[in-house]
Amino acid sequence: MPPTGHAAARPRRHRLAAFLSLLGELLITAGLVLGLFVVYSLWWTNVLADRNAQARADEVRARWRTAAPAPSSSPAPGAGPGALDTAGGIGFLHVPAMRNGEVLVKRGTSADVINDGVAGYYTDPVKSALPWDPSGNFSLAAHRDGHGAKFHNIHRLKDGDPIVFETRDTWYVYKVFAELRQTSKYNVNVLAAVPREAGRDRPGRYITLTTCTPVYTSKYRYVVWGELVRTEKVDAKRTPPAELR
């Protein structure tokens, strides 16, 4: 005689319970996998990038120590880094307000450059000036989270804060004068030689820092502008300017 009533319902309840148990296990597994991915993206990539960036920075400084003296304090205008260039980077960015130590700066802003825990200067879609050029905008990008997250604390920068760029023989000292907390990732005007979106209307020697925003997304861009206020010759002890002491 086939089962009826409660007897027939029991197998269905067992199957449902087994299904729900399996579903729960799958969701827990998916959560663990997602959690591990987040840990990898936001922590382990930082570890790897910082390790790589430190190795490259050590190589740059070793080259600086052993290189012949530069023929002048800076290359010819528009000629590129010249004597200040190295295979691994053109110098180091120091931004005390971001509490990120020194940041090696290399050519380019593609993922294969800045994923190594460095900042890169733009070559496309707008070509960056370099600090020693007589005018222009030294425009840089770095990650805000993961891969070293060198610009994670960009929101800490305020008007008047120093941004210092160090080359083999010169300190370039900039002061922050404007910020744009959110703009389209396609807004290339922020990289212009004369940053009119920052309120400037004439050529000067500017620096622009760009990164993704909000944190943990890449939907928009956060922009900070600074202007060169002075340069200092690097002495034998590489004594930093007052802004970094």
ω into residue 214 within 30 of 0, thus cis? yes
What's the CA gap between 85 and 91, in Å, rounded?
8
Identified catalytic residue from 212, 223, 228, 234: 212
DSSP 157: -
Residue 119 C-alpha from the chain's centroid: 5
**Buried/exposed 183-201: b ≥16 CB within 10 Å, e otherwise:** beeeeeebbbbebebbebe
Contact 173, 231 (CB under 8 A): yes
> Catalytic site residue 58?
no
Q: Which residue has the tokens 């703009």?
A: 183
What's the CA gap between 132 and 245, in Å, rounded?
23
User: Which run of H or of E encompasses 30?
Assistant: helix 6-39
Q: Which of 161, 66, 163 is nearest to 105 (CA)?
A: 163
Taking the alpha carbons of 163, 232, 91, 193 in that order, is the dihedral positive or negative? positive
Residues acting as catalytic residues: 212
